[in-house]
Amino acid sequence: MPRYLTRNCDGSTNAKYEILNSKSETSTNHQSPSVQNLCVCSDAVRRFSMLGVPPNMPSRAHYKLWNCTDSPMNKNKTKVEYLPDASVDAALDAEIRRLLTTCFTKPQDAVFKDRRYFVEPYPHRWVIRDARSAIIAHAGVHEKAVEADGRRFRVGGLAEVCVHPNYRGRGLVKAMVACIDEWLIACGYDFALLFGEPYIYQSSGYVLVNNLVYDEVTPAGEKYKAPEPAMVKELAGIPWPTTQVYLPGPKF
């Protein structure tokens, strides 16, 4: 089992963590040279999974994760909680589906009565709770890849973004997206991608692109590559390709 180093940076129990792979403890703490007195934490792996460190964390990588209250985009310091799909039990599943069913009301959204995803399940999810701990905001994240110019890019695909009607217009989506983007950057993703309304995501740094195609099937069962406008955010300093970008699999 890998061993990790962790430090709670401000002394509180559910706040900012500096996390290093143990192999990098002496040399690669470039982003936070002030970090000192790191200690080995025996339950670090469990805490990492709670914080959202992906299981495929590469060695020698440096992760800096927040509980998302620190992001400058999260102006109200809203607490955004990472909820790995693997941790969702029956009660949580029902609560998530209740929110999705409340927020998404088109005929095709009836799928949420039976499952907590629209097309494909996703491993990552962020939620916001109200004062009574009820989930009032939700966003899922797919682990995806896109291909362009013979290159492959890691993409975090945001899906099922929603806020309970009683809590809209307070910046909750902005807070969640800020948190997710920080996490995707920390995990080495190249782009965040979603299919949604530009006016919701523009102020979070997402731009509309019109060169994406995904796998679609005609009613007769023939496969083809369908174009679809998408919202994209560059996370790793790599510009979004200008040629056609292929997203293998369905739209999410």
Ligand X SMILES: CC(C)(COP(=O)(O)OP(=O)(O)OC[C@H]1O[C@@H](n2cnc3c(N)ncnc32)[C@H](O)[C@@H]1OP(=O)(O)O)[C@@H](O)C(=O)NCCC(=O)NCCS
Among candidates 138, 119, 224, which has minimal Cα distance to 180? 138
How many contiguous H segments (helices) and E segments (strands) does the chain have? 4, 14
The answer to whether 68 contacts ligand X (rule: CB under 6 A) is no
Kindly tell me which residue out of 142, 174, 233, 251 binds ligand X, with binding defined by CB under 6 A: 174
- In the complex, what is the shortest distance from the CB of residue 135 to ligand X, in angstroms, rounded to a whole number? 12
Q: Which residue has the tokens 């097309």?
A: 119
Residues of the chain by 3-state class (helix, strand, coil), percent to 5: 25, 30, 45
Local structure of 48: helix, strand or coil:
helix
- In the complex, what is the shortest distance from the CB of residue 194 to ligand X, in angstroms, rounded to a whole number? 7
Q: Where in 184-203 is the site for ligand X (CB under 6 A)?
A: 196-197, 199-200, 203
Q: Where in 149-168 is the site for ligand X (CB under 6 A)?
A: 161-163, 168
- Distances in whole angstroms, Cα of residue 134 to Cα of each of 85, 99, 127: 17, 10, 10
What character string, x for contact with ligand X (CB under 6 A) and - otherwise, covers 86-105? Answer: -----------------xx-
Pick between residue 154 and residue 168 the one whose CB is nearest to ligand X: 168
Tokens for 154?
A: 């890691």
Please work out the total of residues on this chain that contact ligand X, with binding judged by CB under 6 A: 17
Binding site for ligand X (CB under 6 A): 103-104, 161-163, 168-174, 196-197, 199-200, 203
